[in-house]
Structure 1
Amino acid sequence: MKITQRPTSKINDVDFNNLVFGSTFTDHMFQCDFVDGKWKEPEIVPYGPMQIEPSAKVFHYGQAVFEGMKAFKDDDGNAFLFRPEDNWARINKSSARLAIPEFPKEYFMDGMRKLLTMDNDWIKSGDGNSLYIRPFVIATQNGVSASPSNAYRFMIICAPAQAYYSGKVKVVFAQKFSRAADGGVGFAKAAGNYAAQFYPTNLAKADGYDQIVWTDANTHEYLEEAGTMNMFFRVGDTLLTAPTNDRILDGITRKSIIKLAQEAGVTVEVRPVSVAEIKEAAQKGKLLEMFGAGTAAVVVPVESFAHDGVDHKLPSDVSDSYAQRFKKALNDIQYNRAADHHGWRVKI
């Protein structure tokens, strides 16, 4: 691996107490090009602009996928990743759907370890602090013919982060717009999935909501996921979440919470969840919690949801909150405060 060190670090110019999520980046970045049918030698270089032609296919046909990961540091200064092999497997699953060549596991894992070792000081200890890691791949072949690219660049950039959401959120259930359809790319972390939801999300924000909870494209009768997180619903003492399919991202935080809840003796039902049953549960006082789960967001409680122009407020005084309990259990593993019986925590 070729390494070019930045002469002086930018870290002293950063106010780590006032970070805007995803806008401040560390000293270095990882990159590797796919040319002539194979991935070339990876390299780590100083973070900065790169030159790319306006005819690069990523700009015209959207061949771009990404991942979201985090590194955490315990109170003794040890740094850890959380389930990194799942991210490697998922970015390759996303890549395959967009006709992008899969990235070698050793390049991914070794490159990330080296990058995070070099930028270790950017990973801060303390609850809520983390280093957000963004692996991504883009099509770089020049030309505007409508065909898959024959050249790609795989990159990893990192940004110090604090909480994505500072409190509870208000959501609206989708009734008109759709995030994804059967047979499409909803299960992939494709860049275009997020671009397509910005417009309806802006409309929702104009009406006072933070996120849309997407429903199935055919009938809008079944709840799926929100723009930045998978969704969980607590009805009585049962935790509900939609199954993954062509339309729903196989969230790593989602899988972890399901496992932690099952181990805690909570009944978890992974099945289609209808709008009607959640509205009925809310009206009868049985909907005790709703929360989102994702790498950036971690666990975010929902204050209220809207459907058919009616807002439904969730209880604010639930004892033994599942959102709080499983966020703590997850964070305790990530920050090395609790034993990891699953092999999720990987020391850098």
Structure 2
Amino acid sequence: MRAVRGGVGFAKVAGNYAASLLAQTNANKLGYDQVLWLDGVEQKYIEEVGSMNIFFVENGKVITPELNGSILPGITRKSIIELAKNLGYEVEERRVSIDELFESYDKGELTEVFGSGTAAVISPVGTLRYEDREIVINNNETGEITQKLYDVYTGIQNGTLEDKNGWRVVVPKY
């Protein structure tokens, strides 16, 4: 648990991440790069990965946990949702339990997982571990939808693709 509702989990402040250092250290010792954070009340609903928002692709649908007061309403998250919709993907913002995620994987429905953030942009997740079970997502390869979102998002950032959303702003020289 990184944050709880009623706190300041929705904000990018140091206090939200100081408590996560031990969990991050333990994850690193086990060979993992990040921690998958569950909610602080029921401890079963996925909220974030590391300091990033998290997305899942199930049967071509892009799913991300809904904002609930303890999830950062990241600008990259918002942009990815808008971009995915513009590209024709169905997008759902809803609660996703860790059990549901593993069931979706077992059924062959979960095909991609990625985190998003200002620094990382879009980072694919290759392996997830919960308790004593580990699953490998898309053979540890970047998925097609994840790659498409990354390519279009960074293309808009870099000016190589048209900015249909009005995200880029020219800063005047003084």
TM-score calculated relative to the size of structure 1? 0.48
CA distance in structure 2 between the aligned counterparts of 1:319 and 1:279, rounded to whole angstroms: 19
- 1:194 match: 17
For 1:222, the aligned partner's letter is Y
What per-residue deviation string (whole Å, max 9, x for no partner) do you get for residues 164-191 of structure 1?
xxxxxxxxxxxxxx11111001001111
**Structure 1, unpaired ranges of 5+:** 1-177
For 1:296, the aligned partner's letter is A
Compute the displacement of 1:328 (Å). Answer: 0.7
Higher mean Cα deviation, 239-248 or 317-326? 317-326
Query: Which one has a bigger Cα radius of gyration?
Result: 1
Compute the displacement of 1:319 (Å). Answer: 9.4
- 1:310 match: 133
- The within-5 A match list for 1:157-236 is 178-236=1-59
Asked if structure 2 preserves the Cα contact closer than 8 Å seen for 1:179 and 1:193, the reply is yes
- 1:291 match: 114
CA distance in structure 2 between the aligned counterparts of 1:233 and 1:261, rounded to whole angstroms: 12
1:263 matched to 2:106? The reply is no
Asked if structure 2 preserves the Cα contact closer than 8 Å seen for 1:281 and 1:287, the reply is yes
CA distance in structure 2 between the aligned counterparts of 1:317 and 1:228, rounded to whole angstroms: 21
CA distance in structure 1 between the aligned counterparts of 2:37 and 2:138, rounded to whole angstroms: 22
Q: In structure 2, the residue corresponding to 1:290 is in which secondary structure?
A: strand
How many residue pairs were aligned?
Answer: 171
CA distance in structure 1 between the aligned counterparts of 2:34 and 2:57, rounded to whole angstroms: 19
1:321 matched to 2:148? The reply is no
1:251 matched to 2:74? The reply is yes
Q: In structure 2, the residue corresponding to 1:221 is in which secondary structure?
A: coil
CA distance in structure 1 between the aligned counterparts of 2:115 and 2:141, rounded to whole angstroms: 17
Q: Which protein has the bigger helix share?
A: 2
Compute the displacement of 1:316 (Å). Answer: 2.9
**Structure 2, unpaired ranges of 5+:** none
Runs of 4+ in 1 over 4 A off after TM superposition: 317-320
Asked if structure 2 preserves the Cα contact closer than 8 Å seen for 1:288 and 1:318, the reply is no
CA distance in structure 1 between the aligned counterparts of 2:142 and 2:88, rounded to whole angstroms: 16
- 1:331 match: 154
What per-residue deviation string (whole Å, max 9, x for no partner) do you get for residues 271-316 of structure 1?
1111111100111221100000001111111111011211111123
- 2:123 match: 300
1:239 matched to 2:47? The reply is no
Q: Which protein has the bigger strand share?
A: 1
CA distance in structure 1 between the aligned counterparts of 2:139 and 2:87, rounded to whole angstroms: 23
CA distance in structure 2 between the aligned counterparts of 1:291 and 1:261, rounded to whole angstroms: 13
- 1:340 match: 163
CA distance in structure 2 between the aligned counterparts of 1:220 and 1:327, rounded to whole angstroms: 30
CA distance in structure 1 between the aligned counterparts of 2:120 and 2:142, rounded to whole angstroms: 22
